[in-house]
Structure 1
């Protein structure tokens, strides 16, 4: 909508990609309930320090994006630096008398004519990864020489060849928990909230592994496996599948394996065990 507005009334617009530093440590040490409080606290601090015309959204896990209309990349960087300074000085959450302070890394990219939304987000995301590589707790402006390139999250760390993991689950809380627990692995994580979206992603992209919920709207996990098995475009791709299901019946387990699942876990499950199985499935050291 903002880009359509710019077509009528030309003006600069910048996008900020934010990632909380060392968020997994908070979840692992204090629990996901404290992690949720930290997310809410940062979201509130961002809201009160942004304009009513700025667009703030949670992107996934501990990542946020902000679109700032009528804002150059330099102005956006100055705004985010001011917010980061406040985050450094003020705790964002409190639980049972203990305060929790954080920092964040952010990448800023200005939109230019001809740039797709995906390219725009990728530029800001890549700049955020540069901020992480430079030591976290900082703002980095996207390089202009990368304009118009596709998403390069896989090559953000050239010494690490990242693999692709697709998480398919209709529960946004579970997706966030899985992301926060697995994000330290050398992988790129993509999400789908239902089977139909997942099927489209599988046809358009290549994934090394998939965490697949058995029960979902539109197209459940078993039906998705069945379609994958029948479709020659998908069947030739060597994508390992770990099924998650609330069902503990042996026939469901056997059905999953028969349809091509490489592993099967029932809910509730151990996050530590899940990570071990994902590592094995994706051949991660």
Structure 2
């Protein structure tokens, strides 16, 4: 936490109290922001070899993204830069800004040099989350219950994905978990999970497939979904929102066990 505080102190305008304007931070850091159509989607890189940091992001077409942010007054998805309309691009830019802050900190402290390359990337993800979702603001937005409505509202106001919002919840010990699903050839499959250990062991049976298919499109509903784990079943209790090809289930309980945080739920059988 001390290293995070020291890195955030490198922001020229100080630690943000609300989700900041990333373009303003880029200007204050005297960095150059460029885009490349050759770079892989949602990938970024920062060149720190010159006097002015050069941040390069991938150019993302609106039609290629599933994480579009609401339009702001006067904005145009065809002309706006990707991080203006795409939650994942916004987080990528914050991650690259974090690299610039760590580099600046390294000029006055030896602490960043102790991080391995993998640890540095993880640290920059955490630093990006602190920049985009300041702790006091975030907890006030989420409120006492991190239900799906609160998660969606907070993610839109911060300009980040629901996945990033859930990870931020868990880092702040807010008890919540989630599973993200995709529909391929009429069958729902788990893509990733937060707060649930060994999700690869969980399988959706016929009743779960039927419940998911019957859910109203783009409507939030309470749900109890039965999943198969080895030779026994578990019930996921929470809230569901689905589109035609994807779905998210914010899980409050598995059977009678509340999802722990920051630890994960694991099957005891």
Higher helix proportion: 1
Question: Is TM (by shorter chain) over 0.5?
Answer: no
User: Taking structure 1 as the reference length, what is the TM-score of the superposition?
Assistant: 0.28
